[in-house]
Amino acid sequence: MSLHGRIALIPGASRPVGRAIARRFGEEGATLILPVHDWPESTREMTEEFEGRGFAYVTLAVDLRVGEAVAALAATVEERFGRLDFLINNIERGGMPVVHGSYDQPHNRGQWELELATTLTAKWLLYRHCLPLMQKTGGAALVNVTSIAAMTGRSGPAALVFNDGYSAANRAVSSLTETWAREAGPTVRVNEIMLGLIDGRHGDRTRGWGALSQEQRDELVRHTLLHRTGLPEEVATAVLFVAVDAAYMTGAVLRLDGGFVLGGDRVPAMPPGIL
């Protein structure tokens, strides 16, 4: 596979999951457009790595929650590159209950709004302003990267890691995935990958995972049918497949959660019956 000459817009690339996705696209030769806004240390690490690996990339300072800023981003992409082949809608923010506690606490003022603005509104703005260029390009693909919080909400073992606003925002994105697939076809495919507990995002290597007791971590892992958390590299493999190879797929939602949503209920041995 070669993506030379193809343009990929990947927000959130300074963080572990987004970094792994951008890395895979860079390895395949795509030119990377990487909006950045916060996490300055992570951004420096990203640019150092991508410089060292010789990737073709550009970073642009953009607050993706602001419509005018996203419109300007889309205009810049069109002016500089004239096309947009892939939009990997990997932008989110969700405070873990085990870390943040209740929305009512003073330190959480604005947290609900932040979760919706980043997880939902920013994705919608990117779609809205990038769609015309993607339709002009033709054969383009959008992948919404979301969370199984859309299905579990703040319940069961996941109640420690998925907040209410974050869960509701992800549920809304799943609705938009289907709407956008209808609207963008046939020239643009729109799909969604719903993540479970991924290292660097609700799994190991996060502040929230470290705040859990060993018993709580074990319960989350036991609830996952594969009995482990996922890797950012596994997410990147799935995103690349959906964006590039799955040419007849649109409007689909794939779960990459190790079986967490199905966990909890086990299949018992078949009873002997009474006949």
The one-digit pLDDT tens for each residue of the chain (275 residues) are: 799 999 999 999 999 999 999 999 999 999 999 999 988 999 999 999 999 999 999 999 999 999 999 999 999 999 999 999 999 999 998 889 999 999 999 999 999 999 999 999 999 999 999 999 999 999 999 999 999 999 999 999 999 999 999 999 999 999 999 999 999 999 999 999 999 999 999 999 999 999 999 999 999 999 999 999 999 999 999 999 999 999 999 999 999 999 999 998 889 999 999 99
DSSP for 88-112, please give it: EE-------HHHH--TTSGGGTTHH
Q: What contacts 151, CB < 8 A, 6 or more positions away? A: 171, 194, 261
Chain centroid to CA 93: how far?
10
Closest C-alpha to 150, from 166, 129, 137, 128: 166
Closest C-alpha to 185, from 244, 247, 237: 247
What is the C-alpha end-to-end distance of the chain, expressed in Å? 58
Q: Is there a domain that residue 214 lies in? A: no
User: What is the residue range of 244's domain?
Assistant: 7-197+233-256
Q: What contacts 32, CB < 8 A, 6 or more positions away? A: 8, 10, 13, 22, 25, 26, 50, 55, 56, 57, 58
Q: Could you tell me the strand order of the sheet in which 140-147 lies?
A: 57-61, 31-36, 7-9, 86-89, 140-147, 188-195, 253-256
Q: Is there a domain that residue 203 lies in? A: no
Q: Give the type of residue at 201.
A: R
CATH number for the domain that contains residue 56: 3.40.50.720
pTM confidence score: 0.96
Q: Is the dihedral of CA 251, 141, 43, 50 positive or negative?
A: positive
Cα separation values, 21 from 149, 178, 267, Å: 21, 23, 35
Q: Is there a domain that residue 219 lies in? A: no
Contact 19/48 with Cβ under 8 angstroms? no
Token pair for 84? 């947009």
**Number of domains making up the chain:** 1
Q: Is there a domain that residue 126 lies in? A: yes
Q: Is there a domain that residue 40 lies in? A: yes
- How many Å apart are CA 64 and CA 133, to the nearest integer? 18
Phi, psi of 196 (to 5 degrees): -95, -140
Q: Is there a domain that residue 34 lies in? A: yes
Q: Is there a domain that residue 138 lies in? A: yes
Q: Is there a domain that residue 225 lies in? A: no
- How many Å apart are CA 74 and CA 67, to the nearest integer? 11
* pLDDT at residue 39 in the model: 86
